[in-house]
Structure 1
Amino acid sequence: MAQSTPKSPLSTAQAAREALAARLDGLRRDAGLTGHELAVRCGWHKSKASRVARARTAPSDADIRTWCEACGAGDQAADLIAASRSAESMYVQWQRIHRDGMRQVHESTVPLYERTAHFRVYASNVMPGMLQTPEYATGLLRSITTFQGTPDDVADAVRARTARSRVVHEGNHRFALLIEEAVLHYRVCEGPELVTQLRYLQEVMARPNVSLGIVPLEARRTVWPLEAFYAFDDAQVAVETLTAEVNVTAPSEVHTYLRAFVELSRMAVYGAAARSLIAKAVDSALS
């Protein structure tokens, strides 16, 4: 029987938004105000107050301050603003993340990578970022930039990604990495560059701090292919969708992703069997 797999990656973000809305609406009720009375005090149309209370509209920092003041709870504004920012950071569209190019996002995540002791990464579409060669990363990031229509800072972004990847070779970090076999064959760069990438994969899997598993195409699946996700210790999981990055921090959902990782690990091959699959991919890229 197939094991349960993670809920929609939007669920944590939506739950956080709903929790914030419930806290704001609780302030309104504690103040003895109707929705109409609150809207009047805030200088808003009634429909805006209703949308915020039902988590249909994300309130700005100013909206939260105004709401709290209207309810006589100005001292709670700072805490609620922090909760709102946290909720919005859980689901961030790539267009927003990459609005100034991709270099900055790589540099901003360096502290997260440096403090993570145990990485668990599942890659179903491309090589894990920390294992990408500069040539592979260039092909990938250029295609992303073209597709998204965001500023082209590919060369700088590749340098930043490569610099961030030093955690594989420096510090006390452990990596458990799972790759779907198809990833070995996807041509996100030219054939010779893909060969270089695959040979680097063979090299890095020999490191004592790296465990690399490959899920064969013919594996009997107990968990179907999922969107790529990165687990940072037991605290956070970053899920990569087509349109956004979803940061999961709720313990129950983090646990579910880690359970899925365990199931996927059982389907993977390691060591000589994994090297054989990589060698087959090298032969294919050379042909």
Structure 2
Amino acid sequence: MSKQAQEAREALGARLRGFRKDAGFASGRALARALEWQESKVSRLENGKQNAGDEDIRAWCLATGQEEHIPDLIATARHIEELWLEWRRQLQTGAETRQKKSLPVYARTKVFRIWNPNMIWGTFQTAEYAAEVFEQAIRFYEFPDDRDAAVAKRLERQRYLYEGERIYNVILGEQAIYSKFGGPDVMRDQLDRLVALMGLPRVSLGIVPDTAIWLGHSFSMFDDKRVLVETFSAELSVTQPRETELYARAFGLLRQSAVYGEAARDLILTARQKHVRRHP
């Protein structure tokens, strides 16, 4: 579990402890007897060793006379579970469900800040490039092969490039335009797609040259409210304002290292020439 998720769990436990004491239960043992629980369960919840389920929160609040807080605490507990989502759990039925889950987030977001040092961002991917990405993920995580459905859901995001007034600030590492996903044909078409997207009025595409100093892992920032960070094992959701501010600062530094406009286009076209098209 991430540090942020653990801190949130401990904060929830402290709130539950306060409810217990305010209700006159001098000890966890007394509340456990009232709820017909094991005493250890009360201790684990109060100390952030175990996340509270919906029914746990309902029972606790009813026993302590805090019924009005049930919806808020259930939402808090569910958010803690979302802070650190293991890929195997998310992908156990395939990738389409995870792609579908992202659509409401994209619909709500007004300003995107995206950094990826070695891969084209999902919303900018062609169908062939995305299919190769999912094929590699299927081999690595060994989840059901639903790549066609997953690609279709990923491509649905692209409608938001043309709808509303959303702003897309996207920065890629130069490595991203050289990494060979699907071979030369796929990469040349993908780079053509990038050049075309640069012409959209609300898209700002920067490339951080290999010669520049840039910060590590990729991340996607949705307005100032949420940052998603993908690791090999899980997806981390960052929502604490002090932490999202750090990502905003990191993105600002990346913008200083990136090149834009004609300079970025030249890097993409140079990379395109390196991807020699295969002949039948």
Same fold at TM > 0.5: yes
Counterpart selection for 1:277 from 255, 267, 280: 267
Q: Percent identity?
A: 39
> Aligned partners of 1:213 and 1:243: how far apart in 2?
28
Counterpart selection for 2:198 from 195, 202, 205: 205
- Please give the TM-score of this superposition, normalised by the length of structure 2: 0.91
Q: Answer whether contact 1:106 1:164 (CA < 8 A) is retained.
A: no
Cα deviation for residue 130 of structure 1 reads 0.6
- The corresponding residue for 2:231 is 241
RMSD between superposed Cα atoms in Å: 2.0
- The corresponding residue for 1:140 is 133
Cα deviation for residue 96 of structure 1 reads 2.3
Structure 1: stretches of 5+ with no match in the other structure: 1-8
> Aligned partners of 1:72 and 1:205: how far apart in 2?
57
> Aligned partners of 1:257 and 1:190: how far apart in 2?
33
- The corresponding residue for 1:47 is 40
Structure 2: stretches of 5+ with no match in the other structure: none
Deviations 1:129-170 (A, max 9, x none): 110000000000111122112222110110111122121233
Q: Does 1:91 align with 2:81?
A: no
Q: How does 1:73-84 map to 2 (within 5 A)?
A: 73-84=66-77
Greater RCO structure (CA 8 Å; 6+ sep)? 1
Q: Answer whether contact 2:118 2:177 (CA < 8 A) is retained.
A: no
Amino acid at match of 1:186: S
> Aligned partners of 1:177 and 1:49: how far apart in 2?
46
- The corresponding residue for 2:118 is 125
Q: Does 1:31 align with 2:40?
A: no
Q: Answer whether contact 2:169 2:205 (CA < 8 A) is retained.
A: yes
Measured at CA, do residues 59 and 115 of structure 1 come closer, stay the same or move farther in structure 2, by a change above 3 Å? closer
Q: Does 1:150 align with 2:143?
A: yes
Cα deviation for residue 200 of structure 1 reads 1.0
Task: Say how many residue pairs are matched.
Answer: 276
4+ aligned runs moved over 6 Å, structure 1: none
- The corresponding residue for 1:6 is none
> Aligned partners of 2:183 and 2:163: how far apart in 1?
29
Deviations 1:69-100 (A, max 9, x none): 33343443332112111222222222222222
Q: Does 1:170 align with 2:147?
A: no
- Please give the TM-score of this superposition, normalised by the length of structure 1: 0.89
- The corresponding residue for 2:255 is 265
